Structure formats: structure tokens, C-alpha cells
Amino acid sequence: MNTQKNVKIGFWGCPERTLVNELKSKYPNADWLDLDLDLNAPDKHILPESYCKIIKNIINNSLGMKDKLDIIVAPIGKDKCDSGWFAAQLLKDMGFEVIECINPNIDKKRPLVISTSNLPLYDKFNIIMNNIIDEKALNAAQCKPKFGFWGVPPNDMEILKLFPDETHVYGWTRCVERGTPADVAEEMYVEPDVPTVFYAQSFCAKCQLAKYLADKYNGLYIDIDDYATNSVRAKIEAFLRLS
């Protein structure tokens, strides 16, 4: 392992705060890296061609910086997904130091500040995800929702810029703000009268939930593999203009 000064810790999902704090205490100068994100790592073709882009990011990012990545914090429970569990096994098998973890918290809910704020939707997602490791007290003006966006942070974050600021966040990302990423009741919560886009990454098991909820609440279901095409953008735009 590198010296403590430049330890690099990769993570995905929303690891439990206690574990994050333990590691921050042990490695106070560590660089933390969200492996869920598309960091332009070359595709190592470990996973099938048609597979969840987020999991591909995890594998490709890890392999792309193999010599520099000291620890991988790997949520493997319902707070992430079965694919996350398999990814952890693959990375262990390939020689990475993997700390498997499960975030079971569904009781100690933090209040919502960002999901229900009037900040740009793109900023809402960034603030919520950045708060997983660097926890800060959050404050933002609240607004009534004109629209909703349900789901995980999309691989193509640019689609979030199509939405007006008065868009509330629902689904897993809202759970992350709560600190309860495994709380499926919270994940399934939406406001029935708020026109909502239900988003899932193509080939992700959450497509099941997104499609079901979109049908139930007359929302718009979209799944995107990699980056959004112009047609998908037009579909979202039409939903927002007609609703």
C-alpha cells in the first residue's frame, strides 16, 4: 500500500457513514474516488457488451488505475445491487483490496434539504453524491415541485439540465440524502400529482421498479445506456412541455 499521505480509496454506492469515518480517521489524507462515475477509463471488456454502464465504470475505473488504487470500499447489499456484489467478487479475484460492506440503515433518516430545494437539478445530484464522503451541513431554499426526477445519478448527468429548478429528487438518490440507500419504501415514494420522469440505467435491475412506478403514477419511464441520444432528450423535453 502507498504511504498514508497519498492513499487512494475507490468506492461505489453509498457506504455507511461509520465505515467512511473509520477510514477517514485511519487515512486522513486519502483521496476518495467515486468509481460509479464515467472517468473515461478504457473498456477492458471484462463485462458483457450489453451491461449496466455504472458497473462497467466500476470495473474499468478500477482496472484503469490498478497500481494507484489502494482500497475499494464496495457496498454489496440492497443499498447497491446484486451486480455490485458480483463486481466486488471480480475485483477481489483480480487482486484488489476490497472492503465489502452493507449499509442497512433505514431508521436514522436525515432531513431532506437538497432533494426538495430550488437548486438546479444537476447541482442537487452533485451535492447529494459529494456528501457521501465529505459530509457537510446542507442548506438550501425549498420549493414546491413542478416535476420529479426519480432514480440513481445517471451516467449521462447532462440530461439533468433539461429539467427546471423546481424539480424534486426521488428514488435512490433521495434515499442517499436521507442516509438510507437500502430503504425501498423511501425509494418507491413519489408524489402522485407531480409529473415525474422515472429513470434507470439500461440493464440495471432498477428498470423493473422504474417502469412499474412510471405506469402506476402516469410518469415517463426512460432507461439510457451510456449517453442519451437526441431522441431521448426530445422525449424528456416533450414530457416536460406537455405535462
Partner 1 sequence: MTLYIDAGTTYSKIIADGEKLDFLPVKNENGFLYYIIPSSEVRFLDLKFKKSCGHMFSDENSENEIIALAQGCKKDIEPDSVVLDLGSRDAKWIRFKNGKFRDMDWNTSCASSTGATVEMLLKFYDLKTEDLKFNPEKYNVTCGIFGFEKIMDDISKGVNASDAVSKFVHGIAFNAWNFAKRPEKIYLSGGFCNNECFVKSLENYCDVVKLGRFKLCEGLIDG
Binding status of residue 85 toward partner 1 by CB under 8 A: no
Say if residues 76 and 64 touch (Cβ distance below 8 Å): no
Say if residues 164 and 146 touch (Cβ distance below 8 Å): yes
- Determine the distance from the C-alpha atom of residue 58 to the mean position of all C-alpha atoms in its chain, rounded to a whole number: 12
What Cα–Cα distance (Å) separates residue 196 from each residue in 161, 213, 227? Answer: 15, 10, 20
User: Which one of the spans 78-86, 88-96, 140-148, 228-236 is the region binding partner 1 (CB under 8 A)?
Assistant: 228-236
Residue 214 CB, shortest distance to partner 1, in Å, is 9
Binding status of residue 235 toward partner 1 by CB under 8 A: yes
Residue 48 CB, shortest distance to partner 1, in Å, is 18
Q: Tell me whether residue 146 or residue 235 sits nearer to partner 1 (CB atom).
A: 235
Report which secondary-structure segment, H or E, holds 40.
none
CA distance 24 to 181: 21
CA nearest 122: which of 173, 180, 187, 179? 173
Q: Tell me whether residue 100 or residue 225 sits nearer to partner 1 (CB atom).
A: 225
Binding status of residue 216 toward partner 1 by CB under 8 A: no
User: Which one of the spans 1-9, 15-23, 32-40, 218-226 is the region binding partner 1 (CB under 8 A)?
Assistant: 218-226
Say if residues 161 and 183 touch (Cβ distance below 8 Å): no
Q: Tell me whether residue 205 or residue 238 sits nearer to partner 1 (CB atom).
A: 238
Binding status of residue 221 toward partner 1 by CB under 8 A: yes
Residue 235 CB neighbour total at 10 angstroms: 15
Binding status of residue 164 toward partner 1 by CB under 8 A: no
Residue 238 CB, shortest distance to partner 1, in Å, is 3
- Determine the distance from the C-alpha atom of residue 218 to the mean position of all C-alpha atoms in its chain, rounded to a whole number: 24
CA distance 75 to 112: 23
Binding status of residue 158 toward partner 1 by CB under 8 A: no
Q: Tell me whether residue 140 or residue 232 sits nearer to partner 1 (CB atom).
A: 232
Binding status of residue 237 toward partner 1 by CB under 8 A: yes
Rule CB under 8 A: which of 176-215 touch partner 1?
215
94 three-state secondary structure: coil
Q: Work out which of 73, 74, 210, 220 binds partner 1, going by CB under 8 A.
A: 220
CA distance 38 to 36: 7
Binding status of residue 242 toward partner 1 by CB under 8 A: yes
Interacting residues with partner 1 (CB under 8 A): 215, 218, 220-221, 229, 231-232, 234-235, 237-239, 241-243
